[in-house]
Amino acid sequence: MIKTEFTSYIRSLQNEICTAFEEIDGKSVFREDYWERDGGGGGLTRLIEKGPVFEKGGVNTSTVFGELPDPIRQHFNVKEGWFWAGGISLVVHPVNPMVPTVHANFRYFELYEDAEMKKIKDGWFGGGADLTPYYLWDEDAHHFHTVLKNACDRHGKELYPAYKKQCDDYFRNRHRDEARGIGGLFFDYLRADDQRSLQDWQAFTQDTGSLFLDAYLPIVKKRMDEPYNPTQKQWQEIRRGRYVEFNLIHDRGTLFGLKTNGRIESILMSLPPTVRWDYDVQPESGSREANLIDVLKNPRDWVE
């Protein structure tokens, strides 16, 4: 069964990612928090914080099931139904403003006609990964996107440009007319069709997730010892405010969790620990800060 295989995959990936982050940080370790969902299922939240490299980071897995909550019934326009959903979600906020924040999520959803959850009505995969730098190196953006493109290309040359554009369109603070970061991949509702089976989409999703560390860790290792000053740390916290704005105003996953009585601590673990909202901040023309804003307002193609 796909959901059994995917459950094993996300739990293994969670272990791999957490081990790698602990090794790089060198001091802090993840605390574990098992939780159960009223109605069926639960998950494992893992949080690392106050380390020399990672100021705060969460790597969560969950497998939940049961009767569809009212908001999902309304979304799918059904009077009744049952579901199973499994996924891994992570957000990491580094200490050094020269190291970018990163987010990734890989998930699978099944919809059933019966309470015994034996008659599958629908099923699909979703996910992606995106990078949010505070100080931009083009070579880092190129590396991140190249790794993700290579993962996509093994399953179809048309996938990267399509899902890169979806990422640029989705992770955007429309009220400020700027992107949250420099993008990556975003895909959803990957269903079986004439070209690909659900198992094909499973392979694609898992390949993308398995290359997450290859995309992100080389950037961390390269930038974690870069010097920075208090002004640059302040800029990081101002930009973190934009990250918070997106998650609380626009992000579908966050809003869905809040509307369906999800586990609040796990939902909001994506928020950074220190944030600023200074009034009307305008970077100096020609500065690295101004260059970042220009890129966020005008998404680039990072891979030829």
| Reported pTM | 0.95
What is residue 117's predicted lDDT score, i.e. its pLDDT? Answer: 84
Contact call for residues 127 and 104 (beta carbons, < 8 A): yes
Catalytic site positions:
103
Residue-wise pLDDT tens digits, 103-152: 999 999 999 988 888 888 999 999 999 999 999 999 999 999 999 999 99
User: Is the pLDDT assigned to residue 78 strictly greater than 80?
Assistant: no
Q: Domains plus CATH for the chain?
A: 2-297 (3.40.1500.10)
pLDDT at 34 > cutoff 90: yes
pLDDT recorded at residue 258: 82
Band of residue 18 on the pLDDT scale cut at 50, 70, 90:
very high
96 has pLDDT over 90:
yes
- DSSP H stretches of helix in 95-197: 138-153, 159-170
User: CA 54, 56, 57: angle at the middle one, nearest 5?
Assistant: 90
Closest CA to 138 of 2, 304, 273, 275: 304
Residue 72 is predicted with a pLDDT of 72
pLDDT of residue 210: 97
User: pLDDT, tens digit, for every residue of 249-287?
Assistant: 999 888 878 877 778 888 888 899 999 999 999 999 999
Cβ atoms of residues 114 and 82 within 8 Å: yes
Residues 291-295, mean pLDDT to the nearest whole number = 97
Please tell me the least confidently modeled range out of 42-51, 166-175, 249-258, 259-268: 259-268
Q: What is the mean pLDDT of the chain?
A: 94
What is the reported pLDDT for 255? 84
3-state DSSP percent of the chain in helix, strand and coil, to 5: 40, 25, 30
Report long-range pairs for 164-172 (Cβ below 8 Å, ≥24 apart).
164/301, 167/128, 167/130, 168/299, 171/130, 171/246, 172/246, 172/250
What is the per-residue pLDDT for 111?
92
Q: Give the CA distances from residue 108 to residues 94, 127, 139, 191, in Å, rounded to whole numbers and listed in that order.
A: 28, 9, 32, 10
Per residue in 186-244, pLDDT (tens digit) is 999 999 998 999 999 999 999 999 999 999 999 999 999 999 999 999 999 999 999 99
